[in-house]
Amino acid sequence: MHGKYNQLQSETGSDTALGLNGPSDAPDDSNDWEQDDRPREACGVVGIYSPGNDVARATFFGLFALQHRGQESAGMATSTGNEISLHARMGLISQVFKEEDLAELRGHLAIGHTRYSTMGGSKQHNAQPLIVDGPRGRIAVGHNGNVINAGELRTELSELWGITFDRTSDTEVIAEMFARAPGRDWFEVAWYAMRRLKGAYSLVIMSKDELIAVRDPLGIRPLCLGKLNGGYVVASETAALDNIGATFVRELQNGETIVVNKDGIQSKIWPAARKTHSMCIFEQIYFARPDSVLNGQLAYDSRRRMGAELYKESAVDADLVIGIPDSSIPHAIGYANASGIPYGEGIIRNRYVGRTFIAPDQRMREVGVQMKFNAMRSIIEGKRIIVVDDSIVRSTTTVRVIGMLKKAGAKEIHVRVAAPAVISTCHFGVDMATMAELIAANKTVDEIRDHIGADSLSYLSVDGLKRAVDVEDDSYCKGCFTGRYPIPVQLEMDKLALEPASV
């Protein structure tokens, strides 16, 4: 098994990252000095089957539209119908793929992946797609989500099929299961997997001549279907379809498996799948691009309604509404429109500071948040400001932003959060910090207000959030706000649980 993986890597180049920070299996911690006060993104997946067309370039641009979902590694597997080629590296999509790489990735069938690690370390050997061999041949797998019983399944599959696992992510468990599970077709294989996998998994899978897409029985992570050049596309978000000129068809249902091959497209839903989805509510609040459609709703519109609901619940007299860019802007516009208070861009964000291979020196560390945000004094000075944010997790960035606004001369600062307080961790593909790090799990609202230095602080209620996205009680996973999850989970999980113990 180890030799197999090394051979695949050597066929597509060296194991060195396309960056400046050393070996590719070293975690990229270069920007840990200024962590976002946000949940860390999920992954993004794309799959294309388009007979008669080379699809590597379309897959690249589909992935490019999903870069916000993961920035640790990226990869693509393609096939002409005879064999699978792979290119997967650490880094951003634009760093991982060059023109010469796309020229080598030939074929009418491809899957692509961009990763943020939620199970398994940020290392080269966990970059996806992963390729495995089994009785039904070689397959490549890309995964968005988190399988919470991956450790148990590794032991079970090792004993059942004699597998030696090479990587340390839950995706390898999924890949080996699909490569070896009993079943007369991919639908029976997927149903076998669904009976055993617990957690979140939107999957793109390819054999040498078929594209398979799977959404877990709870529907926790998004997955959609489109048409392109006489073929089909699946992707994490509709924005990826738009980016490559594909026509949106529909979102996959929870428990649905789609198979695309020379005979066309087939779909089946696992009979035991949940009738209503449990999509992560943070897809609506923050993760998905605002121009993506989720559960039939444009995310931008949902976020504006969150802002409007927030105003209804926690109005305050002020001169200006601003959002913390970029993700909070729709929420702030919704609040401003509902309140009649003018909206303004009081904070400018440097959009290119989010990931760098150059570590700051001590003086730049002290500058801190100003490297990422800058307040416009002429707009802020002397005014009572309502600062709308989409979430507060640890509060580190919030504290620094408020300090920056005070330095710019704000008379009053009222923080309004367009989501409920995050009081519990995530188990389904989001790095939400630990219970000890979640400020709302350890402090009251008044204590948080004093800690961040605001004049007032209010969160959107769970009921207000539900009104904004127009859902029933049993739709969406809201466990991070309520502590109640669609399936039983342990209190906290370690995303490095499958890594070997350090010596």
Note the pLDDT of residue 123. 58
Residue among 43, 280, 426, 480 flagged as catalytic: 43
The two beta strands, 373-375 and 456-459, are unpaired
Note the pLDDT of residue 78. 98
Q: Is 43 in the active site?
A: yes
Mean pLDDT for all residues in the chain: 86
Are residues 180 and 144 part of one domain?
A: yes
pLDDT higher at 440 or 120: 440
| 225-255 confidence digits (pLDDT tens) | 999 999 999 999 999 999 999 999 999 999 9
Place of tokens 């802002």: 307
CATH number at residue 49: 3.60.20.10
Question: Which band of pLDDT confidence, cut at 50, 70 and 90, is reported for residue 430?
Answer: confident
Are residues 339 and 242 part of one domain?
A: no
Q: Is the pLDDT of residue 434 over 90?
A: no
Omega of the bond prior to 129 within 30 degrees of 0, cis? yes
Is residue 25 in some structural domain?
no
pLDDT mean over 402-421: 97
Are residues 389 and 342 part of one domain?
A: yes
Note the pLDDT of residue 365. 57
**Model-level pTM?**
0.87
Note the pLDDT of residue 375. 94
Note the pLDDT of residue 493. 44
Question: Which band of pLDDT confidence, cut at 50, 70 and 90, is reported for residue 12?
Answer: very low
Q: Taking Cα atoms as reference points, which of 262, 264, 295 lies closest to residue 277?
A: 295
Q: Is the pLDDT of residue 23 over 90?
A: no
Angle between helical axes of 329-339 and 299-313 (0-180°, round to 10) = 50
The two beta strands, 384-389 and 320-323, are parallel
Are residues 305 and 207 part of one domain?
A: no
| 32-55 confidence digits (pLDDT tens) | 434 456 665 569 999 999 999 999
| 104-156 confidence digits (pLDDT tens) | 999 999 999 998 755 444 457 678 999 999 999 999 999 999 999 999 999 99
| 164-194 confidence digits (pLDDT tens) | 888 778 999 999 999 999 999 999 999 999 9
Overall number of domains in the chain: 2
Task: Identify the domain containing residue 234 by its residue range.
Answer: 2-9+43-278
Q: Which amino acid is at 86?
A: L
CATH number at residue 309: 3.40.50.2020
| 348-389 confidence digits (pLDDT tens) | 988 765 545 455 565 655 556 667 889 999 999 999 999 999
Residue 183 has what DSSP assignment? -
Q: Taking Cα atoms as reference points, which of 212, 179, 218 lies closest to residue 197?
A: 218
pLDDT mean over 328-341: 98
Q: Which of 201-205, 257-261, 305-309, 482-486 has the lowest mean pLDDT?
A: 482-486
- Structure token digits, residue 467: 């009104």
Question: Which band of pLDDT confidence, cut at 50, 70 and 90, is reported for residue 397?
Answer: confident
In whole angstroms, give the CA distance from residue 446 to residue 456.
8
In whole angstroms, give the CA distance from residue 32 to residue 232.
39
Are residues 146 and 108 part of one domain?
A: yes
Are residues 340 and 305 part of one domain?
A: yes
Note the pLDDT of residue 426. 85
Calculate the alpha carbon distances from 408 to 218, 230, 370, 422, 493 in Å. 47, 55, 12, 29, 41
Are residues 247 and 392 part of one domain?
A: no
Note the pLDDT of residue 357. 47
